[in-house]
Amino acid sequence: MKFGADNLPDDPVLLKALILQLQEENALLRHKLFSPKSERSPEDADSPQLAMFNEVEELIEAAAAPSEAEAEAEAEAEEVVAPVKRRGKRKPLPANLPRVEVIHELPEHERTCACGACKQVIGEETSEQLEIIPMQVRVIRHIRKTYACKACETAPVTADKPAQLIEKSLASPSVLAMLLTTKYADGIERDLKDADHNERLDVRQQRSQPLIDQLKAWLDKTQPQVAGQTALGKAVNYLARNWSRLVRYIEGGHLPIDNNRAENAIRPFVIGRKNWLFSDTPKGATASAQIYSLIETAKANGQEPYAWLRHILERLPTASSVEDYEAATHRVQQAIAL
């Protein structure tokens, strides 16, 4: 509707209401045009989700930095090369977590020196990894025994460390499997999913009833004060018309709080995409697509995503051929059951 001097209301009350309505519409349009969009990469470049698939790339870049600096110094001797930013020192895992020690010994045939004497333990190398067993968190201490021969001066030998999925990472396969499952498979928290009707009713009475009472008091006070044609007025009137439907779920624990049951087919994808919609690098995006495909394949074949992922991730570091990779995915259900 176009307004001119001839069709503006003469009543000051109506004129004020019209001005408020136009101001509100203008603010909504400006917000829609110029406000930040919700589906964008987080501002925090150090977000753990963005860095989840970039750990290997960071290690490669850090290792390559000195050689690049040397090449630049040779090409442009007079140019001052900016110092390479050093990565921060890794913080130790919390001391209050329980520790499980895994001893790595030298093979029996390597404990005998070339001179014929038996090598003796002279030390050990220790490294730690975080492990998660739903829902238990503990630290795995890898202790690698170091042997040396006291009869001669041959160099000491240290037991090999087990093959790692991500070298120098604090995350064990169980941690990676848990992160990937919660990020790509679960999609949404499900509070009280195992509670019965009475437990749900008690929780709703405790948590929801006070909030509903506050909302009702605000509604009764606000509805007479707002114009019905404004966005706020329309929202308030809509809330008042549907109030009985809104509070119905508080009366019984068997009543659903939303229409999730009707949307179950699409909810995991829609909610979950907020976790993996953006990737920091092209390689990270490719990894996300591959992981999502693996999880959906596991679910389509009746596999529990966490157990399946952990089984695969524990075997990937030792796979060296196509046959090894195929064998790692075969008979997963039987291996998990054992």
Q: Are residues 184 and 248 in the same domain?
A: yes
- With a CB cutoff of 8 Å and minimum separation 6, the contacts of 219 are 236, 239, 240, 243
Kindly tell me if the per-residue pLDDT of 77 is higher than 60: no
User: Which pLDDT tens digit goes with each residue over 57-70?
Assistant: 444 454 445 545 55
d(CA 38, CA 19): 30
Question: Which residue, of 169, 187, 221, is where some domain finishes?
Answer: 169
Q: Please tell me the least confidently modeled range out of 30-34, 85-89, 164-168.
A: 85-89
pTM to 2 decimal places: 0.35
- Cα 73 to Cα 69, 78, 82, 292: the distances in Å are 6, 8, 11, 44
Per-residue pLDDT, averaged over 90-117, amounts to: 85
Q: Are residues 280 and 317 in the same domain?
A: yes
Q: What count of Cα atoms within 13 Å lies in the side-chain half-sphere of residue 6?
A: 0
Residue 143's DSSP bridge partners are: 103, 126
Check residues 77 and 133 and name the one with the higher pLDDT: 133
Domain extent for 191 = 175-257
Buried b (16+ CB within 10 A) or exposed e, 223-262: eeebbeebeebeebeebeeeeeeeeebbeebeeeeeeeee
Which among 178, 214, 193, 121 is positioned nearest to 308, based on CA atoms?
178
- 52 by Cβ neighbours in 10 Å (0-12 / 13-18 / 19+) ranks as buried
Domain presence at residue 70: no
Q: Are residues 199 and 246 in the same domain?
A: yes
Domain count for the chain: 3
**Which amino acid is residue 312, in one-letter code?**
I
Q: With bands split at pLDDT 50, 70 and 90, how would you rate the model's confidence at 194? A: low
Q: Pick from 170-179, 236-245, 248-257, 267-276 the range whose average pLDDT is largest.
A: 236-245
d(CA 308, CA 336): 8
Check residues 331 and 151 and name the one with the higher pLDDT: 151
Domain presence at residue 187: yes
Domain presence at residue 25: no
Per-residue pLDDT, averaged over 44-67, amounts to: 48
Which among 151, 157, 160, 162 is positioned nearest to 121, based on CA atoms?
157
Domain presence at residue 55: no
Q: Are residues 180 and 248 in the same domain?
A: yes
CB atoms within 10 A of CB 47: 13
Angle at the Cα of 297 (from 299 to 261), degrees rounded to 5? 40
Domain presence at residue 29: no
Cβ atoms 240, 218 nearer than 8 A: no
Q: Are residues 212 and 165 in the same domain?
A: no
- DSSP labels for 27-60? HHHHHHHHSPPSSS--S-TT-TTTTTT-HHHHHH
Which among 336, 288, 292, 287 is positioned nearest to 315, based on CA atoms?
336
- Three-class DSSP category at 196: coil
Q: Are residues 230 and 198 in the same domain?
A: yes
